[in-house]
A and B are shown apart, each in its own frame.
Chain A
Amino acid sequence: GAGVSQSPSNKVTEKGKDVELRCDPISGHTALYWYRQSLGQGLEFLIYFQGNSAPDKSGLPSDRFSAERTGGSVSTLTIQRTQQEDSAVYLCASSSGLSDTQYFGPGTRLTVL
């Protein structure tokens, strides 16, 4: 079956521009997570959504970052006024519930010039 998909696979943008990253979770998965991996670092938790509950945004590094999940399926991570330190691979994961294994997408590599 289809796994988690993310688009675009690569994004190059200029400092100060806004970007949107998209995640399509596995069908039927109620939990969706965003992580980022900066160069040489492990994955850093950003935000997660579970069903209709309010998302846990505790990992978002600044108010330039926001995410939404429409209809309990597709999610969009938005970074406003991008900075060079935002350059990283942004990974999305989904699971069938909070107590289940997280399945990751291939990521979006963001480069801010």
Chain B
Amino acid sequence: AQKITQTQPGMFVQEKEAVTLDCTYDTSDPSYGLFWYKQPSSGEMIFLIYQGSYDQQNATEGRYSLNFQKARKSANLVISASQLGDSAMYFCAMVGNTDKLIFGTGTRLQVFP
């Protein structure tokens, strides 16, 4: 069975600072993918970044980067230069050898001026 764990229910960060959102996972599938999504209060789920289990390098997308440590089964999201618009719920998710995307419980990020 696959499992995603996000241990931070809420995080605060000051504008322009960097923040790391934690995600650990468990799976027996040899091939899997890890995704991060942002969900503002309006409800839409916005795809941010993807990391494949066989990728040698950590994924980066603009201000988002993924700190992938396969041996530790962690895939932490790093947001650099936080902006007020980054305030939202952030979900880590995994897909294995099925089409099922399994989500963690989420971390609510609040960026303050």
A and B pair up: no
Binding site for B on A (CB under 8 A): none
